[in-house]
Amino acid sequence: MKRPLAALFFILVACHKPEPPALPRPSILLVTLDTTRADAIGPEQHNVETPNFNAIAKDARRFLQAYVAVPQTLPSHTSMLTGLYPAGHGLHENGRYLSPSQPLLAERLHAAGYRTAAFVSAFALARRFGLARGFDLYDDAMPEPANERSAKETTDRTLAYLAKASPQPLFLWVHYYDPHFPYEPPEPYRSRYASKPYFGEIAAMDEQLGRLVAAFRRRFGANAAIVIAGDHGEGLGDHGEAQHGNLMYQSTMHVPLLIAGAGVTPGVVNEPVSTRRVYHTVADWAGLDATSSLRRADREVVAAEAMKPFLDYGWQPQAMAIEGTTKAIRAGRIEVYDIAADPGESHDLAATANLSRGIRTTLRDYPVPSPDAAAAALPPNVSEEERRMLASLGYVASSTKPLVRADAPRPADMTHLFAIEDEAAQLFVREQYAKAIPLLERILAEDKFNLDAALRLGTCYSMLGRDANALPAYEKALSIAPQSLDVKQYLGLHYARGSQWPRAVPLLEQVVAESPDRVAALEGLALVRERQGRLDDAVSLRQRIFALRTPAPAELARLGELAMRIGNTQAAIAAFEKAGPGHDLELGVLYLAANRYEEARAALDRVPPASAAYPMALFKRAQVSVLLHEPDQASRIEAARQHADATTRELIARERLFR
Ligand SMILES: [Zn+2]
């Protein structure tokens, strides 16, 4: 009889702590506000009017010291949807891919019987980056070429969905992107906030937030639970940072956070909390698990990271810890601030501060990500077009593994390069090489170990055909990181472009052998194999590439031609079938070769009379007609004769099937 006693004891102990009351399962609305500083929204602000947020805040539990896990859109949302810091979920930057093995909040709620829907407003959160798992509906349709949509558009779509929603409990995530740069609020906010358009975007977003929350409450009444969180703030020039992602000061780390509705005790919380606890709070509402829910006032040491400058440029990795009113940032050396007395973080207290054990161990133990793993965590099937879409949003994650060194610069000391780095990266991805060159030269002059800049500089010169400038840039890259596979890859691609292409072979072979999924190296090697006349290799390399990224129709057609030339009928058929319309002659010929006469007939019948390929199509069609014993085979042969050109005339004359 020991077990019941033990169970009773366990229950008594558990009951000893005051638990929030059990609830009927509410419908849950999660609203994430992109690029929204804590001091840019709410009843205390003088810069901006946010009446809707303020009204929701009145009967909400509001966290005045809420911190994001990382100041970038995709990893920050990933922390809210996994409950983990980036060190736990492995996604540190935009443009990367969440491992499919990482459980997501929507999956848990879906499994628990919730309907699940998400409406996001920027390509940075598109389905392909891995957050859509578990959602019945994941609306990431973006208008082109903007790749983002306004809070108004997103709200319109969400309200249309809510109007049709069934009474089943719903988990709804809505993401607003408006305050992200560039700041272009709609009227009347454009005029009202003409001198501070960032705040105009916040005010415009607030209007839509009001519509959304009102509609959700109308639909679910008292059984509605709401959480609103910022995904990061915006530098607006504080500490030399215009936007976000490179530093860890309050302007970008400190965000609005509130919970309201079902079972929430209204009030204001001054203890620091992490927005990753959005995950635990939603799970709590759904009756799954109350651990770490924001409905409870657990004191915690809040951690965070900003690894983009480390992963992209090799600068110092950055981690942060906050407990009470003390905030410490480790970036090489440690900075310490009293965020209550000095929210602008202008007095570094590191020399005199006596840090708590919690802060010290958090900073000491926070893991620095492996550049290998981070560089490998690219979404599958990213096309060149999508890379440009990411670039248009200002997200250009480097694919180069940085040089890691103890005396790397601190990001806070490199603020003069932030804008130049961003602009150079965008110009590079948009293939504006001549414009990128002076920026990359300047970056390298001021940041001598920036491997990414050296490789991009070499590539700019290479793409412009300026080999005499390209080689010194690649030599510089080699001197920075002699063993780097990235350097071998870029140099190999440089040679593959020019007359010295045989020198590319050993370089690219080594890269592909050591890192088999590097698309760029595989592409370079495929071209070189074609030049070497090794078409079998060229075909199988292209097949590997297209398994890793989505090919363009013209690329599939090229693969089809190569496969045809080496007589690989199956590969050729597969490629042309996927390449879309315009390849009916090729398909007809290939189906015929594969004895698939019915399909050959259908394909050849689709070749239009105006096509230059029409005589050949008629000749092949006549062959098929004979092989299928069609009653009109004689007139088919006659038609082929009448429309013959120089090539088919001879073929018809020699064709035994026609005798
Ligand atoms: Zn964001």
Ligand 1 center to residue 122 CA distance, Å? 9
Which tokens is 36 given? 């929204």
pLDDT at site 405: 85
Q: pLDDT means per 10 residues in the chain (659 residues)?
A: 36 40 81 98 95 97 98 98 95 89 96 97 92 97 84 97 90 97 95 97 98 96 95 96 96 98 92 97 94 87 96 93 97 96 96 95 93 66 59 54 87 95 87 95 94 92 93 93 89 90 94 87 92 94 89 93 95 95 94 96 95 94 95 94 93 91
Q: Can you tell me which residue has the tokens 């363009």? A: 552
CA distance 144 to 78: 25
The whole-model pTM stands at: 0.81
Ligand 1 centroid–CA 34 distance in Å is 4
Using the mean position of ligand 1's atoms as its centre, give its distance from the Cα of residue 103 in Å: 22
DSSP class per residue in 368-403: PPPHHHHHH-PPTT--HHHHHHHHHTT-----SPPP
CB atoms within 10 A of CB 629: 7
- CA 226, CA 60: separation in Å to the nearest integer? 9
Close Cβ partners of 107 (under 8 Å, ≥ 6 residues apart): 133, 134
Instruction: For residue 327, report the distance from its CA to the centre of ligand 1, in Å.
Output: 22
Q: Is the link from the previous residue into 18 a cis peptide, with omega within 30 of 0? A: no
The pLDDT, as a whole number, for residue 406 is 87
State the sign of the Cα–Cα–Cα–Cα dihedral 479, 483, 488, 490: negative
Report, in angstroms and rounded to the nearest whole number, the Rg of the chain calculated over CA atoms: 30
Q: How far is the CA of 307 from the centre of ligand 1 (A)?
A: 15
Which DSSP helix (H) or strand (E) runs through 440?
A: helix 433-446
pLDDT at 378: 64
Task: Kindly give the distance from the C-alpha atom of residue 394 to the centroid of ligand 1, in angstroms, as a whole number.
Answer: 11
The pLDDT value given to residue 383:
61
CA dihedral for 399, 404, 409, 412, sign (positive or negative): positive
Structure tokens at 64: 């005045």
CB-side exposure of 413: number of CA atoms within 13 Å?
12
Q: Give the residue among 199, 123, 179 at the shortest CA–CA distance from 382.
A: 123
305 C-alpha to ligand 1 centroid (Å): 15
pLDDT at 127: 92
Given this model, what pLDDT does residue 12 score? Answer: 33
The single-letter code of the amino acid at 583 is H
Q: Are 568 and 539 in contact (CB under 8 A)?
A: yes
pLDDT of residue 236: 96
Distance CA 625, CA 619 (A): 10
Helix-, strand-, coil-residue percentages of the chain, each rounded to 5 = 50, 10, 40
Q: How many CB atoms lie within 10 A of CB 100?
A: 9
> In DSSP terms, which residues pair with 27 in a beta bridge?
224
C-alpha–C-alpha distance, residues 173 and 152, integer Å? 15
Phi first, then psi: what are they for 488, rounded to 5°? -60, -40
Query: What does the alpha-carbon distance between residue 277 and residue 292 come to, in Å, rounded to a whole number?
Result: 6
Helix axes 451-463, 485-497, angle to 10 degrees: 10
Residue 36 alpha carbon to ligand 1 centre in Å = 8
Question: What pLDDT is attached to residue 382?
Answer: 59
The alpha carbon of 341 and the centre of ligand 1 are apart by a number of angstroms equal to 28
Query: Residue 310 is encoded by which pair of tokens?
Result: 């480390």
Distance 83 CA to ligand 1 centre (A): 17
CB 242 within 8 A of CB 235: yes
Could you tell me if 517 and 511 are in contact, meaning their C-beta atoms sit under 8 angstroms apart? no
Q: 190 CA to middle of ligand 1, Å?
A: 21
Residue 259 to residue 57: CA distance in whole angstroms:
8
Classify 431 in phi/psi space as left (phi over 0), alpha (psi -120 to 50) or beta: left
Sequence letter at residue 356 = S
The distance in angstroms from the start CA to the end CA of the chain is 96
E strand map for 109-211: 115-119, 137-139, 170-176
What is the CA(283)–ligand 1 centre distance, in A? 23
Q: Tell me how far the alpha carbon of residue 176 lies from the centroid of ligand 1, in angstroms.
A: 9
